[in-house]
Structure 1
Amino acid sequence: MSDTPASPFTIEHETSDTKGRYVVELNGAEAEMTYSKAGDSMIIIDSTAVPDAMRGQKVGVALVAQAVGDARSSGKKVMPLCPFAKAQFARHPEWRDVLA
């Protein structure tokens, strides 16, 4: 499988013992995708939030793609509970290898 393409945005990854988030800051606005850790082998995408100022720039897709790439490189699976993330998995069949 090929890796997901590099994002045109700078995506920061913050993590704790049980949760994490991917963040893009652009022109004073912040978009984020949050997840919960389910053991050592899976993450559950809880929410994707993109402010109106960033809409149409594919920031949300970039956040989910980053999580997919990170999951793939670390051997984890992804369960997209967030409706946006779930829709992106449906649109990107190349991500199915990490789908829980």
Structure 2
Amino acid sequence: MKGNFNKIINSATPVLVDYYAEWCAPCKAQSPVIDNLANEAGTDIRIIKIDIDKNQAIAQQQNVRGVPTLALYKNGKQLWRQSGLHSKEQLLNVIKLHTK
């Protein structure tokens, strides 16, 4: 995933990355929100999930210290990042604020 990850976040299309872990209860609660957001956002944004245990190099490169952590990238630049649970409305607002 590492090589693809850099290609993905360097895209002109905004990319929301959900850094998570299988053992993380808050991550499991965040997952349906992310899935719902992906259905609603369509092609305006790409949403990917990164399991920090399976992709430790990416987590380390991006300095992910806690999960869930969500980050928004465009053209390789991190536009926003925050740990914790977020509602779909909060995430839609973040996307609108940073991508329009």
Q: Which has the higher contact order (CA 8 A, sep 6+)?
A: 2
After TM superposition, the score normalised by the length of structure 1 is 0.28
Q: Which has the higher helix share?
A: 2
Structure in which a larger fraction of residues adopt strand: 1
